[in-house]
Every structure is written in C-alpha cells, then in structure tokens.
Chain A
Amino acid sequence: MSSELETFTMLPLQIDPQTKALSTTSGSRALQAELASLNALHRSLLALETPNQVPPPPLPVNPKRSANVSKLRDSGNTEYRKGKHAEAVKFYTLGLQMALTRPLWEPQQLVREEVAALYANRAQAHMALQSWAEGAADAEASVEAKRVGNSKAWWRRGKCLVEMGRLIEAKEWVSKGLEMEGDEGELVALLKDINAKLEEKSNS
C-alpha cells in the first residue's frame, strides 16, 4: 500500500503563460471543478503579504474586515429603526457580501457568527416588508450558520411559514428549534399558536 502513495496519475494539465491559470484537455467535470477552485485559491494567495505568500495561521484575524462587516450591520439596524426596511435590507446584503468573501482560510467560526447575525436581521427586515418567502429563507440561512443560541432566527422562519400558511412545516421547524434552544419562551408561544391554527383548520 505504501507503493500506492509513491505513485501518482499524470493528468493532462496546461498552464496559461500569462495568467498562470491551469486548465485541462480532459472532459472530467471533477477535474475541471477542482482546477477552478485551485485557480481561485491561487488568485487569493497572490494578494497575501505574508512570507512566501502562504496563508497566515487562522488566528489572529485581521480586524479590518470584521470592522467593515459590523459597520454595515449597524447601518442596517439604524435604517430598520427609522422604518426604512428596504434600505436596511440593502445594508445587510452588503454586509453579507463582505462577510462571505472573507478568505477561506480565515476562521469559519467567525464567518458563522457574522453571517448568522446578518441573515437574522435581514429576515426581520423582510418580515417588516411582509416578504415572507425571503424572510423564511434568510432565517433558515441564519440557523444553518448558527444552530444553537439563535432562537430569534428559529422563531422568524417559523413565523414566516405560518404567514404563508405552511403550518405543518412551521410546526416541524419550531419543534426542532425547541430541541436546540430548550424551552425558549417565544418559541413555545409560537408552537402553541401553530397548534391552535392547525386545530382550527381540522375543525373547519
């Protein structure tokens, strides 16, 4: 088996002399996708100022991007408080772009925290605009980034599903949220509300 590790398969690779981008004559989709990832990683490494342009260790983090992300979130919150919900959505969207274009070698935990808050806030702004489908998706994305300690996002998707009349889905979702968050008060209340609506529906 160690002999397997000493050999390798020569692949049909080309390198563009100008852009240094790698390509292949092979029709393999997996190889093409991998080369796309590799070329993207190469481009982002070239932007580094570290010795040999290798990624710095995940910690400590360059604070610049985090500062920009929170600035955009704060601007969104200010607009939201003024009742300018569509403007708030725009700021949260910019914040998400900033957070999600963070270099991939930086701590994923930090990305999770940042995007969980931004998605949850954008969900709330969508709800204020009665855009239930958008709100439901954003709250789900927030939970994907942060499952525990995120009861607001669990609640918001549940509420959006109720508004769209998707009661059974809402019930499943909120029940899952309760498993994650313990008996959080507002989630408990929402589940009660959903159960009452389901009852009402089966009686009519």
Chain B
Amino acid sequence: MFDIDWMSLALPFAYIGVLGAQNANLEPWFPPHLQRNIYLTLLHMEPEPGQEKAPKVPDSVIRAALLRRAVEDIRRIIQIRTSKQALNSLLQRGSVGEDLNQRFLRAEKEIEEELRDVVTEVKTGRWISFPKRIHANFIQANALSPGWGQTIFQSANEIAANTLLRTRLEEIESRAEADKEWWEKRRETIQKDFMRELEEDSSTKGSVKGSDDDAVLVDSGSPTTPSKKKKGKK
C-alpha cells in the first residue's frame, strides 16, 4: 500500500530524527495532532459570543477534515515505519537508550489506535450531520460509508505522496529562478571578457574602431561559449 521509493528516501532522515528525539526524553514522539483537533472541533462547534446557535458546519467540510486527518495519519505511520528500522539498528549498537524505545512503542500503539478511530468515524457516520443521521435516508447513506472506510486511507496515501511530490517540484522551481539570474549575470561576464579579448586582439592589430560590431554582438543575446562545441541531443 505504501510507496517503497518514499521509504528508502525517508530512511536517512529517520536516523537523524531518532537521534534528535533522544534529547527530549519526556516529550511525546509526535507533536499534537492538528488535523484530529480540527476535525473534533468541527463536530463540537459552540455558539459564537452573542449567538444562540452554534454555527452549522456542512457535512462536506467535516468529510474534508476527516480526510485531512487521515492524510496526517499516513505521514505518521510512514515516519513510524521508517524510524523503526533506524531505531532497531541504533538499539542493537547501544546508541540509544531503552526510554527512547518506550516512547517509540507508545507512539506506535497510539497511531494504530488513531487509524482504527478514523475507520470508526467513517462507519458510525459522525461526519453526516445529526438531523440527517436520524432521517430515513441515513440508512442508505450509511450503507455507502463502510466503503469509504476501505478507501479513505488509499486516498489519504495518494494525497500525502502527491503533496510531497508537488512540494519537491516547487522547491526545484524556486531554486531555478535564482539559478537563472546567476546564469544571466555569468553569461554577461563571459561575453564582456570575450569582447575584451577581441578588442585586445584588434588593438594589437592597430584597429581602434569596432564599437559598432560590439553592440551587434552583445545584442544578439546568444550565449557566449565560443570555445565549446554545441551538441544537441535528438
């Protein structure tokens, strides 16, 4: 179910993660589960000050929040699985203590419970608002939700992986901007150096004129790598 390429990419970082975690012995393995808190807050919304009724949260928003919660669960379970390999080899070498292992085992158990919780949420249909739930149609609607219980983590897995891919591609594109600027400047310098060489050549031959030619060459904007052969690949 989980992408193997991802795992191998994450493994070196898992070592760093495990070693870094040693310094915070009493803290839980993971930070507070933000997406879970959002989902449960939406199920328990309270009236705004001065209002009698709690704001109505559409079912579609609740479903989206549950899916975001499942995406975070996927990230955590991948981290747990990759950390496990790293942690076990560090434990064997005696590089980390037993208390770290205890923290890890607790986190592992918690994420398993969290996954079961999400499936229960889908099955009990808390993501369908209360009036609709007691409506006769609910039986029909709920009949569809066990199906989502089977696929919600498949979807969440793709969302997590797709998000990571897009983040990486955005990083490359943002670096590309800086790279492009660097190359523009570099190319200008190469061009100037090349022109100077030409001028030096022509001045030794006694010709001082030639600024018109220079202007044409500079404007042409072709990259100046005069000593190199250009070889296109088809």
How many angstroms between the C-alpha atoms of A55 and B42 in the bound complex? 20
Docked-complex contact B163 and A8, CB < 8 angstroms: no
Q: Which listed residue, B55, B109, B145, B155, touches A58 by the CB 8 Å rule?
A: B155
List 18 A-B residue pairs with CB atoms under 8 Å apart, sorted by A's residue number: A11-B38, A17-B56, A22-B61, A34-B34, A41-B159, A42-B64, A51-B141, A51-B144, A105-B155, A127-B232, A133-B176, A141-B169, A141-B172, A141-B173, A144-B172, A147-B5, A156-B233, A164-B183
Q: Which listed residue, B45, B67, B106, B183, touches A41 by the CB 8 Å rule?
A: B67
Q: Please indicate the chain A residues that have their CB under 8 angstroms from the CB of B223 in the complex.
A: 130, 132, 163
* B186 contacts chain A at the CB level, 8 A cutoff: yes
What's the dominant secondary structure at chain A's contact region?
A: helix
Nearest CB in chain B to that of A9: its residue: B37
* A203 contacts chain B at the CB level, 8 A cutoff: no
Docked-complex contact A107 and B40, CB < 8 angstroms: no
Given contacts A34-B34, A38-B38, A38-B65, contact A134 B176 (CB under 8 A): yes
How many angstroms between the C-alpha atoms of A134 and B56 in the bound complex? 49
Docked-complex contact B38 and A13, CB < 8 angstroms: yes
* A62 contacts chain B at the CB level, 8 A cutoff: no
**Interface window among B16-24, B88-96, B110-118:** B110-118
- Among the interface residues B61, B110, B128, B232, which one has the most CB atoms of the partner chain A within 10 A? B61
Docked-complex contact B34 and A30, CB < 8 angstroms: yes
* Shortest Cβ gap from B118 to chain A (Å): 11
Docked-complex contact A112 and B165, CB < 8 angstroms: yes
* A2 contacts chain B at the CB level, 8 A cutoff: yes
* Shortest Cβ gap from A19 to chain B (Å): 11
Interface size class of B (residues with CB under 8 A): 35 or more
Contact with B along A42-61 (1 / 0, CB 8 A): 10011000011111111000
How many angstroms between the C-alpha atoms of A10 and B46 in the bound complex? 10
Number of interface residues of A (CB under 8 A): 65
What's the dominant secondary structure at chain B's contact region?
A: helix
Of residues 60 to 86 in B, which have CB atoms within 8 Å of A's CB atoms?
60-61, 63-65, 67-68
* Shortest Cβ gap from A22 to chain B (Å): 7
Given contacts A38-B64, A42-B64, A105-B158, contact A5 B117 (CB under 8 A): yes
How many angstroms between the C-alpha atoms of A96 and B28 in the bound complex? 41
Given contacts A38-B68, A45-B60, A127-B233, contact A137 B179 (CB under 8 A): yes
Of residues 102 to 124 in A, which have CB atoms within 8 Å of B's CB atoms?
102, 104-109, 111-112, 115, 124
Q: Which residues of A are in contact with B by a Cβ distance under 8 Å?
A: 1-2, 4-5, 8-11, 13-15, 17, 20, 22, 30-31, 34-35, 37-38, 41-42, 45-46, 51-58, 100, 102, 104-109, 111-112, 115, 124, 127-128, 130, 132-134, 136-137, 140-141, 144-145, 147, 152, 155-156, 159, 163-165, 186
Q: Please indicate the chain A residues that have their CB under 8 angstroms from the CB of B42 in the complex.
A: 13, 22
Q: Which listed residue, A15, A104, A132, touches B183 by the CB 8 Å rule?
A: A132
Q: Which listed residue, A5, A144, A186, touches B169 by the CB 8 Å rule?
A: A144
Contact with A along B146-172 (1 / 0, CB 8 A): 001001101110110111011011001
Given contacts A1-B106, A52-B144, contact A45 B233 (CB under 8 A): no
How many angstroms between the C-alpha atoms of A37 and B114 in the bound complex? 21
- Among the interface residues B60, B64, B228, B231, which one has the most CB atoms of the partner chain A within 10 A? B64
* Shortest Cβ gap from B55 to chain A (Å): 5
